[in-house]
């Protein structure tokens, strides 16, 4: 099954993430985000980081989840490769992200992402699964 | 309904703590529980980030997964093991983890086993990752016990935390620490303390001056279990800080000689005498290796680059490995101060005097 697809845009870049359920689509959105940021093939899932996010609705929760991951990358130097959503409701998410701290000798940053945007934000249930569409500010 | 792995692995209940249900009620309850456990269309089973194991009769340890937490104090972002002892006369807790949120998981697991009050909470030292959950047990009216130096260190920590919060320009620390209230002990000890809880003897033994001034271990002599707190790390790099490594090694040797079978570390699985000796030998090796290389005129930066600690020891908490080298290096310098060879201020003081340290491979 396709997990995510990068969407080109005139000024920004975005992605579509897919999943059999909402947990999967949130996890795959995390994968897509870090696929844009870095070459994740060189990232080893050595450490796992507990990430909790809240939102007033499902879409805001998706933006907040990705924003928290982006903060961890930007401020603390984490690069993540694997994501596991432990629990998920409409307003609250608990997940584990696995990866390691940025090592300039082994890791390559492809495209620094400034922020997660609400532009054309979409989180929808399709027949047989879920789809998210997110554009990020670069 | 979420099914937590920790719940599934906690199976033992204490007899006599709960009333026995009449058979029809039991059957109805069983059917309700079975229905609730069926997966629903909107939720799949999730797992917890810890598991609870009964080490010996009535003695449990909550072993967290090796997770870096994004709430709580970032300096203490790894969850520690927490123990609890359940008897028909009440329960006792050893260490309350790094946030009250984790401590509520701990209390939840205790409540799954007994309705008896949590009479004692024992903090094995004053590091925030073993005592920031204390506040959860205030409502339980538990006696919170630590050594006198640990109580002083907890007060110092609270003062320092307030200073850090004031300096927190991006509010990140304030966000992380929201809802967390460092809670000092209600009782202190300056000598060995014996508690009796049901049939269980609990000895709290101060062993200060090694890992920290406030260290104590909790010894259950009948069951031959010792909770060591940060004195023992099993498969994790230790936080050396301002520890006195020599004294730490002596304490570990002393503990190896105790009539005990199970040693519970701050991080990692329960160990026996072999695992405790392995950790003590790591500290000896680290000291000797750093002292030998420092005596050759190497700087702390040289050592961090050359020693490849994380390749020799494939342990968790890898971020602490270079710090351990740096901190041991500084201790070595304090013992044998000589002129630095490096212009790097981080490498102040380099040893030129040769030592007779043995070089023992791990």
Tokens 């002393």 belong to residue:
B254
Q: What crossing angle do the helices spanning B320-335 and B273-295 adopt, rounded to 10°?
A: 60
Q: B6, B42, B46, B48: which to substitute to probe chain A, counting the most A Cβ within 10 Å? A: B46
| Closest chain B residue by Cα to residue A72 | B70
The count of structural domains within chain A is 1
Q: What is the pLDDT of residue A28?
A: 97
Q: Using alpha carbons, select from B131, B136, B132 the residue that is nearest to residue B111.
A: B136
Other beta carbons less than 10 A from residue A11's beta carbon: 8
| Closest chain A residue by Cα to residue B65 | A48
Contact A101, A78 (CB under 8 A): yes
Distance CA B205, CA A106 (A): 47
Q: What is the pLDDT of residue B337?
A: 64
Distance CA A91, CA B107 (A): 25
Pair of tokens at residue B55: 């080490």
- What is the share, in percent, of chain A residues with pLDDT greater than 90? 81
The CATH number of the domain where A71 resides is what? Answer: 3.55.10.10
Residue B65 in contact with partner chain A when CB distance is under 8 A: yes
Q: What is the pLDDT of residues A93-125, one digit of tens each?
A: 999 999 999 999 999 999 999 999 999 999 999
Output B20 or A92, whichever has higher pLDDT.
Answer: A92
Does the ipTM surpass 0.95?
no
CB-based contact A21 B44, cutoff 8 Å: yes
Residue B25 in contact with partner chain A when CB distance is under 8 A: no
Q: What crossing angle do the helices spanning A22-37 and A58-76 adopt, rounded to 10°?
A: 30
Q: What is the pLDDT of residue B172?
A: 84
Are β-strands A78-88 and A92-101 bridged in parallel, bridged antiparallel, or unpaired?
antiparallel
Q: B43, B50, B70: which to substitute to probe chain A, counting the most A Cβ within 10 Å? A: B70
Residue B1 in contact with partner chain A when CB distance is under 8 A: no
Q: What is the pLDDT of residue B338?
A: 56
Q: A25, A50, A51: which to substitute to probe chain B, counting the most B Cβ within 10 Å? A: A50
Residue A136 in contact with partner chain B when CB distance is under 8 A: no
Spell out the alpha helix ranges (H) of chain A. Answer: 22-37, 58-76
Output B199 or A10, whichever has higher pLDDT.
Answer: B199
Pair of tokens at residue B338: 């000589």
The size of chain B, in residues, is 362
Find residue A96's DSSP bridge partners.
Answer: A50, A84
What residues make up the domain containing A70?
Answer: 4-137
Cβ contacts of residue B68 below 8 Å, gap of 6+? A47, A48, A49, A50, B77, B78
Cβ contacts of residue B362 below 8 Å, gap of 6+? B281, B282, B285, B312, B313
Tokens 């967290």 belong to residue:
B64
pLDDT tens per residue across all 362 residues of chain B: 222 233 333 333 333 333 334 444 444 444 444 444 333 333 333 456 899 999 999 999 999 999 999 899 999 999 999 999 999 999 999 999 999 999 999 999 999 999 999 999 999 999 999 999 999 999 999 999 999 999 999 999 999 999 999 997 768 899 899 999 999 999 999 999 999 999 999 999 999 999 999 999 999 999 999 999 999 999 999 999 889 999 999 999 999 999 999 999 999 999 999 999 999 999 999 999 999 999 999 999 999 999 999 999 999 999 899 999 999 999 999 887 655 555 454 444 443 333 333 333 33
CA B318 to chain A, closest CA, distance in angstroms equals 9
Task: Say which DSSP state A111 is in.
Answer: -
Q: What is the pLDDT of residue A101?
A: 93
Q: Which of A52, A72, A86 is facing B46, going by the closest CB pair?
A: A86
Residue A12: band (very low, low, confident or very high) from pLDDT cuts 50, 70, 90: confident
Tokens 């719940």 belong to residue:
B7
pLDDT at A92 over 70: yes
Q: Which residues of A touch B67 (CB under 8 A)?
A: 48-50, 96
Q: What is the pLDDT of residues B274-329, one digit of tens each?
A: 999 999 999 999 999 999 999 999 999 999 999 999 999 999 999 899 999 999 99
CA A47 to chain B, closest CA, distance in angstroms equals 7
pLDDT at A87 over 60: yes
Q: Which residues of B touch A21 (CB under 8 A)?
A: 44
Handedness of CA B220, B226, B227, B231 (dihedral sign): positive
| Closest chain B residue by Cα to residue A88 | B43
Q: Which residues of A touch B70 (CB under 8 A)?
A: 49-52, 68, 72
The size of chain A, in residues, is 138
Q: What is the pLDDT of residue A62?
A: 97
What does the mean pLDDT of chain A come to?
Answer: 93
Q: Which of A46, A47, A51 is facing B70, going by the closest CB pair?
A: A51
CA A115 to chain B, closest CA, distance in angstroms equals 16
Residue B148 in contact with partner chain A when CB distance is under 8 A: no
CB-based contact B70 A87, cutoff 8 Å: no
Distance CA B174, CA B166 (A): 9
Distance CA B201, CA B278 (A): 28
**DSSP reduced 3-state for B61:** strand
Distance CA A102, CA A80 (A): 10
Handedness of CA B181, B182, B187, B193 (dihedral sign): positive
CB-based contact A50 B44, cutoff 8 Å: no
């Amino acid at each position: 099954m396709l997990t995510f697809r990068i969407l080109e845009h005139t000024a920004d870049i975005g992605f579509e993430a897919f999943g059999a359920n909402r947990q999967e689509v949130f996890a795959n959105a995390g994968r897509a985000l870090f696929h844009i940021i870095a070459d994740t093939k060189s990232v080893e899932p050595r450490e796992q980081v507990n990430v909790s996010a809240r939102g007033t609705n499902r879409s805001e929760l998706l933006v907040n989840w990705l924003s928290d991951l982006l903060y961890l990358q930007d401020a603390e130097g984490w690069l993540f490769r694997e994501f596991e959503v432990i629990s998920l409701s409409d307003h609250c998410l608990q997940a584990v992200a696995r990866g390691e701290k940025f090592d300039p000798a082994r890791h390559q940053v492809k495209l620094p992402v400034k922020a997660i945007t609400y532009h054309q934000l979409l989180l929808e249930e399709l027949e047989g699964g879920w789809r998210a569409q997110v554009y990020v500010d670069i | 309904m979420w099914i937590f792995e920790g719940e599934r692995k906690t199976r033992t209940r204490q007899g006599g703590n709960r009333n026995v249900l009449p058979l029809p009620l039991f059957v109805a309850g069983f059917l309700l529980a079975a229905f609730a456990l069926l997966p629903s269309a909107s939720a799949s089973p999730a797992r917890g980030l810890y598991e609870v194991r009964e080490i010996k009769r009535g003695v449990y340890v909550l072993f967290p997964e090796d997770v870096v937490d994004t709430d709580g104090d970032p300096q203490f972002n790894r969850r520690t093991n927490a123990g609890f002892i359940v008897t028909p006369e009440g329960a006792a807790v050893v260490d309350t983890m790094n946030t009250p949120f984790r401590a509520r998981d701990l209390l939840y697991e205790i409540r799954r086993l007994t309705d008896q009050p949590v009479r004692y909470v024992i903090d094995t030292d004053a590091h925030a990752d073993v005592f920031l959950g204390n506040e959860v047990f205030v409502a339980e009216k538990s006696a919170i016990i630590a050594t006198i130096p640990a109580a002083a260190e907890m007060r110092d920590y609270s003062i320092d935390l307030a200073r850090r919060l004031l300096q927190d320009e991006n509010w990140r620390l304030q966000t992380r620490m929201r809802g967390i209230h460092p809670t000092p002990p209600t009782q202190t000890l300056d000598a060995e303390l014996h508690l009796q809880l049901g049939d269980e003897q609990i000895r709290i033994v101060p062993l200060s001056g090694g890992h920290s001034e406030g260290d104590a271990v909790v010894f259950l002599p009948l069951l031959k279990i010792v909770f060591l707190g940060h004195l023992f790390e099993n498969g994790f790099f230790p936080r050396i800080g301002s520890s006195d490594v020599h004294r730490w090694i002596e304490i570990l040797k002393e503990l190896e000689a105790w009539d005990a079978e199970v040693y519970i570390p701050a991080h990692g699985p329960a160990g026996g005498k072999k695992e405790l000796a392995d950790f003590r030998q790591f500290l000896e090796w680290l000291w000797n290796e750093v002292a030998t290389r420092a005596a050759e005129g190497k700087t702390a930066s040289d050592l961090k680059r050359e020693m490849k600690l994380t390749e020799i020891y494939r342990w968790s908490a890898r971020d602490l490995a270079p710090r351990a080298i740096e901190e041991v290096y500084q201790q070595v310098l304090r013992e044998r101060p000589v002129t630095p060879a490096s212009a790097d201020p981080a490498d102040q003081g380099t040893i030129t005097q040769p030592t007779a340290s043995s070089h023992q491979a791990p």
